Structure 1
Amino acid sequence: MTKPTRVSRKPDRSWTDADRLRWAIYWLLIAVCLGNAVGRIWAVTAEHGRHPFLSANDRSRWATVRALVDHQTFAIDEVIQDRYWDSIDKVYHLGPDGKYHYYSSKPPLMACVLAGEYWLIKNTVGMEISEHPFYVGRAVLIATNGLLLFGLLWATIWIVERYAKSDFARIGIVATVAFGTFLTTYAVTINNHSLAATSVAIALYCGLRVWCDGRGDARYLLGAGFFAACAAVNDLPAFSFFGLLGLAMLIKRPVGTLVYGVPAAALILGASLLTNYIAHQSWRPPYAHRADGEVLGTLETKLHGALDKKEVPLVLKDVLENHGIELSQQAEIITRETGNRWVVLDMGIDRRYAVQRTENNIEVRDWDNWYDYDTSYWKPGVKKGVDLGEKSIGRYAFHVTLGHHGILSLTPVWLLSLLGLGLWLGEKGTHRQVAGFIVALTLICVLFYVFRPLKDRNYGGMTSGFRWAFWLIPMWLTAMIPVLDRWKNARWGQLLFAVLLLFSAISASYSALNPWVHPWMYSYMGYLGWLD
Structure 2
Amino acid sequence: MKPTRVSRKKEAWAEADQYRWAIYWLLIAVCLGGSIGRTLAVSGEHGRHPFLSANDRSRWATVRSLVDHHTFAIDDVIQDRYWDSIDKVYHLGPDGKYHYYSSKPPLMSVVLAGEYWLIKNVMGIEIAQHPFYVGRAIMIFTNSLLLLGLIWPTILIVERYAKSDFARVGIVATVCFGTFLTTYAVTINNHLLAATSVAIALYCGLRVWCDGCSEAWYFLGAGFFAACAAVNDLPAFSFFGLLGLALLIKRPLPTLLYGIPAAIVILAVSLGTNYIAHQSWRPPYAHRSDGPVLGKVATKLHGPLDQQELPAAIREVLAEMDVVLSDEAQIITRETGSRWVLLDHGIDRRYAIQRTDSGIEVRDWDDWYDYDTSYWKPGVKKGVDEGEPSRAWYAFHVILGHHGILSLTPVWLLTILGLGLWLGEKGASRQVAAFIVLLTVVCVLFYIFRPLKDRNYGGMTSGFRWAFWLIPLWLTAMIPVLDRWRKWWWGQRIFAALLLFSAISASYSGLNPWIHPWIYNYLGYLGWLP
Bin for the TM-score computed over the shorter chain: over 0.9
Matched, 1:451 2:449: yes
2:502 to 501, 504, 507: 504
2:27 to 3, 26, 29: 29
Deviation at 1:301, TM superposition (A): 3.6
Residue of structure 1 equivalent to 2:101: 103
Deviation at 1:335, TM superposition (A): 1.4
Deviation at 1:13, TM superposition (A): 8.6
- SS at the partner of 1:67? helix
Residue of structure 2 equivalent to 1:483: 481
CA distance in 2, matches of 1:317, 1:471: 50
Unpaired segments of 5 or more residues in structure 1?
Answer: 1-11
- SS at the partner of 2:334? strand
Moved more, 310-319 or 256-265: 310-319
1:51 to 49, 52, 76: 49
Residue of structure 2 equivalent to 1:214: 212
Amino acid of the structure 2 residue aligned with 1:306: P
Deviation at 1:61, TM superposition (A): 0.2
Matched, 1:321 2:316: no
Residues 7-54 of structure 1 show CA distances to partners (whole Å, capped at 9, x for unaligned) of: xxxxx9996100000000000000000000000000111131111100
CA distance in 1, matches of 2:101, 2:134: 22
2:37 to 30, 36, 39: 39
Amino acid of the structure 1 residue aligned with 2:338: N
Contact 2:301 2:359 in 1 (8 A): no
2:195 to 183, 189, 197: 197
Contact 1:296 1:323 in 2 (8 A): yes
CA distance in 2, matches of 1:302, 1:474: 56
Matched, 1:78 2:60: no
Residue of structure 2 equivalent to 1:355: 353
Contact 2:194 2:233 in 1 (8 A): yes
- SS at the partner of 1:255? helix
- SS at the partner of 2:182? helix
Matched, 1:515 2:522: no
| Mapping of residues 292-331 of structure 1, within 5 Å | 292-331=290-329
- SS at the partner of 1:186? helix
Residues 422-461 of structure 1 show CA distances to partners (whole Å, capped at 9, x for unaligned) of: 0000000000000000000000000000010011000000
Residue of structure 2 equivalent to 1:3: none
| Mapping of residues 454-465 of structure 1, within 5 Å | 454-465=452-463
Residues 131-189 of structure 1 show CA distances to partners (whole Å, capped at 9, x for unaligned) of: 00000000000010010001101010010011001000000000001100000000000
Amino acid of the structure 2 residue aligned with 1:477: L
CA distance in 2, matches of 1:401, 1:296: 45
- SS at the partner of 2:82? helix
| Mapping of residues 120-159 of structure 1, within 5 Å | 120-159=118-157
CA distance in 1, matches of 2:106, 2:95: 19
CA distance in 1, matches of 2:520, 2:374: 27
CA distance in 1, matches of 2:46, 2:478: 42
CA distance in 1, matches of 2:464, 2:170: 23
Residues 171-228 of structure 1 show CA distances to partners (whole Å, capped at 9, x for unaligned) of: 0000001100000000000000000000000000000000000111100000000000
CA distance in 1, matches of 2:508, 2:301: 57
- SS at the partner of 1:342? strand
Residues 490-516 of structure 1 show CA distances to partners (whole Å, capped at 9, x for unaligned) of: 111001100000000000000000000
Contact 2:45 2:82 in 1 (8 A): no
Unpaired segments of 5 or more residues in structure 2?
Answer: 1-9
Could you tell me the TM-score, scaled by structure 1's length?
A: 0.97
CA distance in 1, matches of 2:12, 2:129: 55
Contact 1:153 1:174 in 2 (8 A): yes
CA distance in 1, matches of 2:526, 2:329: 53
Residues 361-413 of structure 1 show CA distances to partners (whole Å, capped at 9, x for unaligned) of: 11000000000000000000000000000011111000000000000000000
CA distance in 2, matches of 1:422, 1:302: 61
Distance 1:13 1:116, change over 3 A: farther
Residues 291-311 of structure 1 show CA distances to partners (whole Å, capped at 9, x for unaligned) of: 000000111343222222222
Could you tell me the TM-score, scaled by structure 2's length?
A: 0.97
Amino acid of the structure 2 residue aligned with 1:356: Q
Distance 1:396 1:260, change over 3 A: same
Deviation at 1:322, TM superposition (A): 1.1
2:432 to 434, 439, 455: 434
| Identity of matched residues, % | 79
Contact 1:58 1:191 in 2 (8 A): yes
CA distance in 2, matches of 1:186, 1:339: 44
Residue of structure 1 equivalent to 2:366: 368
Aligned length: 521
Alpha-carbon RMSD across the aligned residues, in angstroms, is 1.0
